[in-house]
Structure 1
């Protein structure tokens, strides 16, 4: 009966993750903390209200240190002395620079949300994670952050996003090395190109598929995978034509 916290739960993958977790048996998922910057946004509120108390909302702006500290206190109160098992750092933003690097003027902003904020949240929740049984942190990344595959995605005009996710992958490794001795597992997961506001309607997969596969990876991960960067597995997409394949396993760095 594990506890879960998801950042950026108001829409897209975050909302789908919360919905998917709520659909699983209570023996697997005892409690879900759904967080977002807005004060209980409409779609999330509907899911929370229908959960019979299993999902609880906590306001959290991942880029604001004070908001993060207040959220930790709120989550600690809601867990009633128990630890947090899983933290999913999902909140993130993506840029579009039509002229590529020349027009990239938002690197600090993107980096602050996609990297620095993940550090703020992970660091702040470490005490509660230490009290949990699973001690697992999932950082939502992307194959666009793979340096080895940079040429494949060269035409994508989102340089700040790519740079920030490459940095997130390295930060995942740093956390993995630092806390391996305490039994933690830190994992970077690429959820696939999903049909969300961020991914667009042209994306490969429904957001529900991405959420299902991320949770499957998360629940099956072991300390032996600590610090890895992994892809989802979607049957039929193992050798798909085009830039994206979803065979599972590790992503080239």
Structure 2
């Protein structure tokens, strides 16, 4: 028979357990292509929260270390790998596992190869056979196959993570309806590769995402100014034509945003993303189909 005293003790213990704060594991993030542009902005943004374990995947580690030091960022880990080299990615995954105790919460596939000026401002009909083949092969190898290699290398760690999110940075130029509606005929190899990686995310969702509770998604960062634009007459003309198309789509568009501004928007979308809401989808930095 339980006495009044023992009831009091049990009640006190229960209250103590309820009030005791839960021990949470620090969320871990891996960003590919973290040495510059959007990738570096992701690293910089995530590092502002000391609760995060932030890891950048780079090809040039010394240069990235110098940049981090110049920005007084001391809580970022760097690992080296080219995303087109699966063996290097496996080695990187082993190093990341050591940093994160065998798990990974969020993988941001940011590393990508953009179009050369020739295809960036010219249509597919203006490319020589040699340039066409070279650019299609190179962009697809990096932007699709490289992403698949990266996901496969780090998927065992994602499966052990708490948040379980795989996010690939894509482009609004991969939206077929927008391309047709506004006559966006340039950046063909890049756009086609990004359309391919959007489908890749849908395939991962159907293969493992839905069944295992892993959110696979693609997100457009918007039009981002990641480097100083070249000022040759051809480059200026090409940008003006492309930007006129953008303003036709979004009359109130103010022009390119900074990498930091884009990442803040993307982060908000990624943070709220779940398998049910965004699994296998391709959305904008606003979490919808508004690309600008």
Smaller-chain TM-score bracket: 0.7 to 0.9
Structure 1 match to 2:123: 100
Change (3 A) 1:47 1:176: farther
Match of 2:6 in 1: none
Confirm whether residue 20 of structure 1 aligns to residue 45 of structure 2.
Answer: yes
| Distance across 2 between alignment mates of 1:74 and 1:200 | 38
Q: Distance in 2 between matches of 1:198 and 1:149?
A: 27
Tell me the equivalent position of 2:235. none
CA deviation map 1:147-173 (0-9, x unaligned):
111125534521000100110110000
Matched, 1:249 2:288: yes
Q: Name 1:204's counterpart in structure 2.
A: 256
Q: Does 1:31 pair with 2:56? A: no
1:48 and 1:75, CA in 2 relative to 1: closer, same or farther beyond 3 A? farther
Of 280, 286, 292, 1:227 maps to 280
CA distance in 2 between partners of 1:200 and 1:137 (Å): 33
Correspondent of 2:196 among 146, 149, 167: 167
- The structure-2 alpha-carbon separation of the partners of 1:198 and 1:167, relative to structure 1 and needing over 3 Å to count, comes to farther
| Cα 1:7/1:148, change in 2 over 3 Å | same
1:66-90 CA-to-partner distances (Å, cap 9, x unmatched) read 21111111111122x2410000000
Match of 1:61 in 2: 82
Map of 2:217 onto structure 1: 187
When residues 200 and 73 of structure 1 are mapped into structure 2, their CA distance, relative to the original with a 3 A threshold, is farther
d(CA) in 2 for partners of 1:82 and 1:48?
30
Number of aligned residues: 233
Q: 1:20 to 1:69 in 2, by over 3 A?
A: same
Task: List runs of 5+ in structure 1 lacking aligned partners.
Answer: 234-247
How far apart, in 2, do the equivalents of 1:83 and 1:250 lie?
32
* SS of corresponding position for 2:61: coil
Retained in 2: the 8 A contact 1:194–1:200? no
TM-score, normalising length: structure 1: 0.84
1:82 to 1:49, Cα distance in 2 relative to 1, 3 A: farther
The 10-residue stretch of structure 1 (210-219 or 91-100) with the greater mean CA deviation from structure 2: 91-100
Aligned to 1:124: 153
Aligned equivalent of 1:115, options 144, 148, 158:
144
The 2-side partners of 1:165 and 1:209 are apart by 22
Q: Following TM superposition, by how much is the alpha carbon of 1:197 offset from its aligned partner in structure 2, in angstroms?
A: 3.0
1:157-207 CA distance string (max 9 Å, x none): 210001001101100000011111111000110110001139889752111
> How far 1:38 moved relative to its partner?
1.4
Are 1:41 and 2:63 an aligned pair? yes
2:95 corresponds to? 74
Cα distance 1:153–1:65, how it changes in 2: closer, same or farther (>3 A)? farther
RMSD between superposed Cα atoms in Å: 2.3
Q: TM-score, normalised by structure 2?
A: 0.74
Q: Deviations over 1:208-237 (max 9, x none)?
A: 11111111111111121211111123xxxx
Q: Is this contact kept in 1: 2:59–2:80, CA < 8 A?
A: yes
Cross-structure match for 1:135: 164
